[in-house]
């Protein structure tokens, strides 16, 4: 099945749980897509990498505190997704399901 899909994700942030929709699109071992949440709006990304059911990508968020670089490492197991986002705010775990 691969990692392609739309996922409802919950991330444990320093400000509490944040719900978002993560869209992942593969082309060979390349990854692109978007992350959408009520707090941050929609942020598109490209240049990510896929290795089997594991993936990584980077994106830049425009926050009230300025631009924030985020690195996302995750994996898909069936319809379940989980991983970790690394940023200047620290590491934040997330999990979710394909919709």
Residue 64 CA to residue 61 CA, distance in Å, equals 10
Q: What percent of the chain has pLDDT over 70?
A: 99
Residue 1: per-residue pLDDT: 65
- The Cα-based distances of 26 to 29, 58, 62, 74 in angstroms read 7, 15, 25, 14
Residue 68: per-residue pLDDT: 87
Domain annotation for the chain: domains and CATH numbers: 5-98 (2.40.128.120)
Strand partners, 25: 32
Strand partners, 21: 8, 36
Predicted model pTM: 0.93
pLDDT interval class at 39 (50, 70, 90): confident
Residue 28 CA to residue 2 CA, distance in Å, equals 11
Could you report the per-residue pLDDT of 43-90, keeping only the tens digit for each?
Answer: 999 999 999 999 999 999 887 778 889 999 999 999 999 999 999 889
């Amino acid at each position: 099945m691969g990692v392609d899909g739309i996922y409802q994700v919950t991330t444990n942030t320093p400000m509490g749980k944040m719900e978002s929709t993560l869209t992942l699109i593969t082309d060979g071992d390349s990854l692109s897509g978007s992350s959408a949440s009520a707090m941050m709006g929609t942020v598109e990304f490209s240049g990510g990498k896929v290795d089997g059911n594991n993936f990584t990508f980077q994106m830049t968020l425009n926050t009230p505190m300025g631009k924030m670089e985020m690195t996302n490492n995750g994996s898909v197991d069936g319809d379940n997704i989980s991983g970790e986002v690394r940023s200047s705010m620290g590491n934040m775990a997330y999990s979710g399901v394909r919709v």
